[in-house]
A and B are shown apart, each in its own frame.
Chain A
């Protein structure tokens, strides 16, 4: 892994189209700004991992179809 030291407002350039900027630093958190082409997908690592894991589980549990769900009500998102 390439490791670079950066101060607040300093940037890292990746290719010609990605800029990563250190916005602020506190005791246990760094705020990072990323400029990248719209089609580039940028995710928080732990959420990306959870989404992938969730898909693996969904693919495994397809046989667990409950007997009768037709009478159940769908929970609406508030």
Chain B
């Protein structure tokens, strides 16, 4: 399959790379198929929609922020990043993590009940 992406240009990939989100993502419930992409030297991954390739989300592995972040067995937790030209205004959504099982190529998103986790958590220190 071939899609045209914002971050990675024309991208050719096999179908077994597609991660299926049965319930989509909050705000984008209709999008079920994504690719998880990364440039080797960057902290951010990109969750890129297959159905609407112009839609993508930068995400970051939450373990770099919190060692004791809620885990789900066999899944890795990612937070959706809201970019900003000023790096100190870049935020991560720790309230609604995206859990991905890279083996099974499935994922889901949920909202954590704890008030400890903010929707707009500043990623970088001043």
Residues of A within 8 A of B (CB): 41, 43, 47-48, 50-59, 61-66, 69-70, 72-77
B84 interface residue (CB < 8 Å to A):
yes
Instruction: Report whether A73 and B84 are in contact in the complex, using a CB–CB cutoff of 8 Å.
Output: no
Residues of B within 8 A of A (CB): 6-7, 25-28, 41, 43, 55-58, 64-66, 69, 80-87, 90, 93-96, 110-111, 116, 119-125
- The total number of A-B Cβ pairs within 8 Å is 100
Instruction: Report whether B6 and A73 are in contact in the complex, using a CB–CB cutoff of 8 Å.
Output: no
Q: How far apart are A1's CB and chain B's nearest CB, in angstroms? A: 22
Give the distance in Å from the alpha carbon of A58 to the alpha carbon of B125 in the complex.
20
Given contacts A62-B57, A64-B85, A77-B69, 13 further A-B contacts (CB under 8 A): A54-B80, A58-B58, A59-B27, A62-B83, A66-B84, A66-B85, A69-B124, A72-B124, A74-B64, A74-B123, A77-B94, A77-B116, A77-B121
